[in-house]
Amino acid sequence: MQFKHPELLWALFLLLIPIFIHLFQLRRFQKTPFTNVKFLKKVVSESRRSNTLKKWLLLFTRMLLLAALIAAFAQPFFAEKTALLEKETVIYLDDSFSMQAKTNNTTLFEDAVQNLLKSIPPEQAFSLFTNEKAFKNVTLKNIQNDLLQLSPTSKQLKLNEVYLKANTFFDLERNSIKNLVLVSDFQQSMALAKEDSTLTIEKHVVHLAANDLENISLDSVYLNTMDSDNLELTTLLSSNLETESTAVSLFNREKLIAKTAATFNNNKKAEVSFTLPKNEVIKGKIEISDTGLSYDNQLFFNIDAKEKIKVLVVGSGSSDYLKRIFRADEFDFKSVTLGNLNYSDLNEQNFIILNELERIPNALTTSLKSFTEDDGHLAVIPATLIDLGSYGQLLSNFYATSYTQRVNYERDITGISFSHPLYRNVFEKNVLNFQYPKVSQYYGLKTNAPSILSYQDKTPFLVGSGGAYIFTASLSSENSNFKNSPLIVPTLYNMGINSLKLPELYHSLGNNQKVDIAAQLPKDNILKVTQNEYEFIPRQKSFANKVSLYFNENPQKDGIYSVFNKENVYRNLSFNYPREESKLNYMDVSTINASSKNESIKALFEQMQNDSSINALWKWFVILAVLFMLIEVLIQKYL
């Protein structure tokens, strides 16, 4: 038993008062005449025995009465050792899309919100955060409406990120018990990073599990050219359980244009194809009907009029191989000699190739410097014999590069930087043995640029990144067979494609995205992005012949958005939620280092309340005091 005000127990010394009163009580004797002395002796003897008993009973009763009152004011109670310590409670509520799984005709997320509203004591202060929102030092009354308005999101924190974020809600200077309540279905994706916590916290896991884990997901779509008039749109689906088939619908805007059935194979995968007319603007949506997660039941895409990338080749060398790479359906290709070059056309291009010039004029160097500073892309292919001074003036602007001496020695091109952005998604695996191209002579290079292709002695054949690429050898047929190598197409084609980051068929939300819009905006004008009533201004940068848009935090909802300036709509952009959570793979909760593991929010909070409960006893001592007072009255009256 413990006391809230133990200092009041010093008042127990007051129990000496009734003892003193009873032991030293002064009595006044009165004379009473009696006729019979024998009778008087009998009365005196009986009175002395009864008075002595009454005296001691009153003494004990009054002492117990006074002791009960003193104990009541000291407020005695029973409690666990941790009940008297300060406590801080932080709740992580997982609001990722996987919490849309169903349990008892409602989603895991809705069920978790309702149980939190029922289980958290109304006056308890706590902090709560989700994958996107946070509420610090609040009571249930403060955030009840906010909790009811929460909806699942595409973002998912890793476990170590949850711990680090939770630490920001705890008061580091308080000596308290820090309870972190984790409410989640604990998808496998949460456990990819190593658990970490900078504070000693008591973790309480509430593992929510769905009754039905079946889910069909629209994973991706891609386009292929069928013929000169049609495109083939292929849709990939997956299921986490054995499924026979499901209906797939294709919409253009709100109009249903095709419907088919997807049949799943033994790997729980399915593929369906639709035929679309070429050169038609389509704001498409593919949709399925599924009782599992709802966020992956639709996938948006759009096909706009294709913007052609402007490629200019400057030089007298053969450019036929370049024309075959930069085809007319994707590129606006031009080739001019140095004498016929119109310098005013340079800033209108996206990608410029200096094709085996013997010498670079100063005027061209100045114009190309301005072109690349305006986010233009440049590739330099030297001639067999070059003026090192003029080339040095140009190349010094890119990674402090300069050609050194000419090397008349045959070399094989054997080194490939597979991780370079030019070769992203080009190779399925690292290729170690193929027909290596070679050169008869090349120039030594001094540079800080990353290597892309290199000779067997690790000296560079091609370097560059970020829009500037430099070859060290002529690509003429007399000097090299690189034109006949399989490497030439992905190398030069990707240089051209990267010079104007055209919108893809669709983009994933939550990833850093860059999109180039071929537009020449007046000064101080900006591009906006809109969908119905929703409108925002993305981060953007204007150049001479394009505007680069950067998407990170916005948009937050999937759908098709329009890029416009005033009344001009330039492009349509489609965004979809990432599909990682559609797999419904869960981690083993037993591997989480936690103080308790629960399957019910209600049971956890009941246990936490029991651990913090205090059984007050002062009322019982008041009742005892009243009882002793009543006993004293009865003694006085009947004894």
In this predicted model, what pLDDT tens digit does every residue of 401-434 receive, in sequence order?
Answer: 999 989 998 999 988 888 888 887 777 666 665 6
pLDDT for the residue numbered 26: 45
Is residue 443 pLDDT above 90, yes or no? yes
234 pLDDT higher than 60: yes
Q: How far apart are the first and last CA of the chain?
A: 36
3-state secondary structure 475-514: CCCCCECHHHCCCHHHHHHHHHHHCCCCCCCCEECCCCEE
* Same domain for 188 and 91: yes
Residue 2 has pLDDT above 90, yes or no: no
Whether the per-residue pLDDT at 554 is higher than 70: the answer is yes
H or E, element range at 394: helix 388-395
Give a yes or no: residue 371 inside a domain.
Answer: yes
- The answer to whether residues 182 and 574 touch, using CB atoms and an 8 Å cutoff, is no
Domain final residue, candidates 463, 498, 533: 498
Full strand arrangement of the beta sheet holding 177-184: 134-138, 126-129, 87-93, 177-184, 202-207, 596-598
Of 49-58, 59-68, 253-262, the least confident: 49-58
What amino acid is encoded at 517 in this protein? I
- Output the pLDDT for position 307: 84
Last residue of a domain, one of 277, 303, 329: 303
Residues 622 and 511 in one domain: no
Reading phi first (left if > 0) and then psi (alpha if -120 to 50, else beta), residue 466 is in: left
Residues 224 and 207 in one domain: no
Does 527 lie in the same domain as 426?
Answer: no
Which CATH number does the domain housing residue 182 bear? 3.40.50.410
CATH of the domain at 247: 2.60.40.150
SS3 of residue 44 by DSSP: helix
CA distance 589 to 361: 68
- pLDDT above 70 covers a percentage of the chain that reads 89
Residues 373 and 408 in one domain: yes
With a cut of 90, say whether residue 47 has pLDDT above it. Answer: no
3-class secondary-structure state, position 157: coil
Give the model's pLDDT for residue 28: 46
Of the pLDDT bands very low, low, confident and very high (cuts 50, 70, 90), residue 198 is very low
Residue 43 resides in a domain? no
Give me the pLDDT at residue 297, please: 93
pTM: 0.74
Same domain, 343 and 491: yes
Q: For residue 179, give the nearest of 93, 92, 84, 81 by alpha carbon.
A: 92
Is residue 159 domain-resident?
A: yes
Q: Is residue 374 part of a domain?
A: yes
Grade residue 385 by pLDDT with cuts at 50, 70 and 90.
very high
Same domain, 318 and 459: yes
Dihedral angle over CA of 187, 192, 194, 200, nearest 10: -20
Task: Give residue 79's pLDDT.
Answer: 55
Of residues 189 and 129, which shows the higher confidence score? Answer: 129
pLDDT one-digit tens code per residue, 595-630? 888 888 988 888 877 665 566 667 777 788 788 788
pLDDT at residue 520 above 50?
yes
pLDDT: is 175 or 525 the higher one? 525
Tell me the pLDDT band of 194, cut-offs 50, 70 and 90.
low
Q: What is the pLDDT of residue 171?
A: 82
Let me know whether 225 and 258 are in one domain: yes
Q: Is residue 37 part of a domain?
A: no
CA distance 360 to 353: 13
Residues 358 and 295 in one domain: no
**36 found inside a domain:** no
Q: What is the CATH number of the domain that holds 557?
A: 2.60.40
Average pLDDT, the chain: 85
- The answer to whether the CB of 134 falls within 8 A of the CB of 621 is no
Confidence of residue 325 (pLDDT cuts 50, 70, 90): very high
- Among the three residues 303, 326, 355, which one is the final residue of a domain in this structure? 303
> What's the pLDDT score for residue 300?
96
Percent pLDDT > 90 in the chain is 41
> Within its chain, how far is the Cα of 262 from the centroid?
32
- Please tell me whether residues 556 and 511 are part of one structural domain: yes
Contacts with 620 (C-beta within 8 Å, 6 or more apart), sequence order: none
Query: In this predicted model, what pLDDT tens digit does every residue of 340-381 receive, in sequence order?
Result: 999 888 988 999 999 999 999 999 999 999 999 988 999 999
**Is residue 46 a part of any domain in this protein?**
no
Give 181's pLDDT tier (boundaries 50, 70, 90).
very high
The larger pLDDT score, comparing residue 47 to residue 594, is at 594
The whole domain housing 543 covers 507-576
Same domain, 138 and 151: yes
pLDDT in tens, 131-162: 989 999 999 998 999 999 998 888 889 898 99
Asked if residue 630 and residue 607 are part of one domain, the reply reads no
Q: How many domains are contained in the chain?
A: 5
Whether 35 is in a domain gets the answer: no
